[in-house]
Amino acid sequence: MSELPIRPDAPWLAPLAGWSDLPFRLLCRELGAAVCCTEMVSAKGLVYGGRNTEELLATTSLEGDALEDGSSVCDHPLVVQIFGAEVEFMEQAVLILRHRGFSWFDVNMGCSVPKVTKTGAGAAMLRDVPGALRVAEAVIRAAGPGRVGFKIRLGWDEEHEVYLELARRLADLGAGWITLHPRHAVQGFSGRPRHSAVAELAHELSVPVIASGDLFTAADGVRTIRETGAASVMYARGALKNPAVFAEHGRLIAGGALEGDLPKGSGIACEEGRTLDAQHACDVLDDLPADSAALFAVIRRHAALARRYAPEHALLKMRTFVPRYVKNLDGARALRQEIVSCRSWDELDDILNRYLG
Ligand SMILES: Cc1cc2nc3c(=O)[nH]c(=O)nc-3n(C[C@H](O)[C@H](O)[C@H](O)COP(=O)(O)O)c2cc1C
């Protein structure tokens, strides 16, 4: 089993409930995401075999899938994020996932949505460190040391910061990596993330630390790695707005951005076999609307992947994604209006053909 890349030049796609589905992950991978996380999956739902859970676990074969257009796609390495506060369900969930061929896992200790925290899961685990460690021990036992990461916040609130103690103990138990979104749970997404806490963890821990939080552009991500010593970063909302952020990240690092200024110069060549011209896409997305061809290629590719892998629900999601992608494009208002009300894939194709040529 190969190692999971956790390096500055290997940015991750964060878990994004409702968004980091198979088509979006494949799109991000073609644009340079080295590792992708699933949306969070309920351990209990997994053990009881809910239909929704199956959809969240949709992926390609390990070798990849050949598509009708002649391209091939591969959704690996993939990290399955699970949530739950009960030791038995969490352990059982990992055993089931392993049996089904999944190899890498992440435990959600950061989600602050009440639906999750009221069950004791997500960021509520920061309020019960001994309980969180019991879960961690069981999950690591089921997965194997080094195969589980933990995604945490600073603590529940300012008066109860636990990240340092918790992360140390998780590393001692055999965590493979720690991701820190350096806000308190009560903050949700408000205020600014305190990335100095990422630096503190990166300095203290023997396992890799991944930074998350307000990394909206590749320059944000690379600067955070440089200033904190984090092993890598996860792009979340930044990827939703611009999936070419991964290509730009690679380009900045290859151009020496970890040492000197953060240049915009050219860098990485596209990996062979990639369907999208990632290099071109990030140039263009940086500088809309000079040339929209690559942005349109991203949109078309996302639509094709969504139609292939999730035809039932993906159209609704595309109606949200596309307006976000074209937000900065001149004259995109009419396109946005048509997209948000389109009702079939054929209609979406028609609209894209009309606007994107
Ligand atoms: C729509 C949305 C869904 C998210 N879903 C998850 C999730 O399922 N699991 C998780 O650990 N974090 C989740 N997060 C948190 C992100 O992974 C990330 O840590 C957070 O957005 C901070 O990064 P950003 O400021 O760069 O977006 C979600 C965030 C957003 C905006």
Q: Is the pLDDT of residue 274 over 50?
A: no
- The CB of 56 under 6 Å from ligand 1? The reply is no
Q: Is the CB of 17 under 6 A from ligand 1?
A: yes
Q: Let me know whether 153 and 65 are in one domain.
A: yes
Q: Looking at 77-81, 188-192, 345-349, which range is the least confident one?
A: 345-349
For the Cβ of 195 lying below 6 angstroms from any atom of ligand 1, the answer is no
Is residue 7 situated within a structural domain? no
In this prediction the pTM is 0.92
My answer on whether 136 and 210 are in the same domain is: yes
Residues 174 and 126 in one domain: yes
202 and 297 fall within a common domain: no
CB atoms within 10 A of CB 349: 15
Mutational test site, ligand 1, from 212, 233, 320, max ligand atoms within 8 Å of CB = 212
Which of 28, 37, 111, 282 is an active site residue?
Answer: 111
Give pLDDT, residue 261: 67
Q: If you take atom 3 of ligand 1, which residue's CA is the nearest one? A: 16
Find out whether the beta carbon of 39 lies less than 6 Å from any atom of ligand 1: yes
Do residues 89 and 176 share a domain? yes
- The mean pLDDT of 314-332, rounded to a whole number, is 84
Specify if 127 maps to a domain.
yes
Tell me, yes or no, whether 102 lies in a domain. yes
The pLDDT assigned to 332 comes to 79
Q: How far is the CA of 245 from the centre of ligand 1 (A)?
A: 16
Same domain, 41 and 157: yes
Residue 4 lies inside a defined structural domain of this protein: no
Mean pLDDT within 292-309: 88
Tell the residue nearest (CA) to atom 20 of ligand 1: 213
What is the rounded average pLDDT of the residues 156-177?
98
Please work out whether the CB of residue 218 comes within 6 Å of at least one atom of ligand 1. no
Please tell me whether residues 199 and 341 are part of one structural domain: no
User: What residue has token string 């806000």?
Assistant: 183
Q: Residue 341 contacts by C-beta under 8 Å, 6 or more apart in sequence? A: 319
172 and 27 assigned to the same domain? yes
Can you give the CATH number for the domain in which 246 is found? 3.20.20.70
- The residue whose CA has the least distance to atom 14 of ligand 1 is 16
Say yes or no: 130 and 245 in one domain: yes
Residue nearest to atom 21 of ligand 1 (CA): 236
HEC assignment per residue over 42-111: EHHHHHHCCHHHHHHCCCCCCCCEECCCCCEECCCCEEEEEECCCHHHHHHHHHHHHHCCCCEEEEEECC
Q: Tell me, what's the pLDDT at 325? A: 87
The answer as to whether 269 is a domain residue is no
- Residue 126, in any domain of the structure: yes
CATH number at residue 309: 1.10.1200
Q: How far apart are CA 148 and CA 102, in angstroms?
A: 11
Does one domain contain both 243 and 334? no
Residue owning the nearest CA to atom 5 of ligand 1: 16
Ligand 1 contacts CB of residue 107 (under 6 A): no
**Number of structural domains in the chain:** 2
- Predicted confidence (pLDDT) per residue in 219-234, tens digit: 999 999 999 999 999 9
Query: Range of 333's domain?
Result: 287-356
The SS3 call for residue 178 is strand
Query: 313 and 171 in one domain?
Result: no
Tell me what pLDDT residue 357 has.
65
3: tokens are 């190692």
93 with 226, same domain?
A: yes
Q: Do the domain assignments include residue 275? A: no
Active site residue 111: yes
Q: How many CB atoms lie within 10 A of CB 124?
A: 21
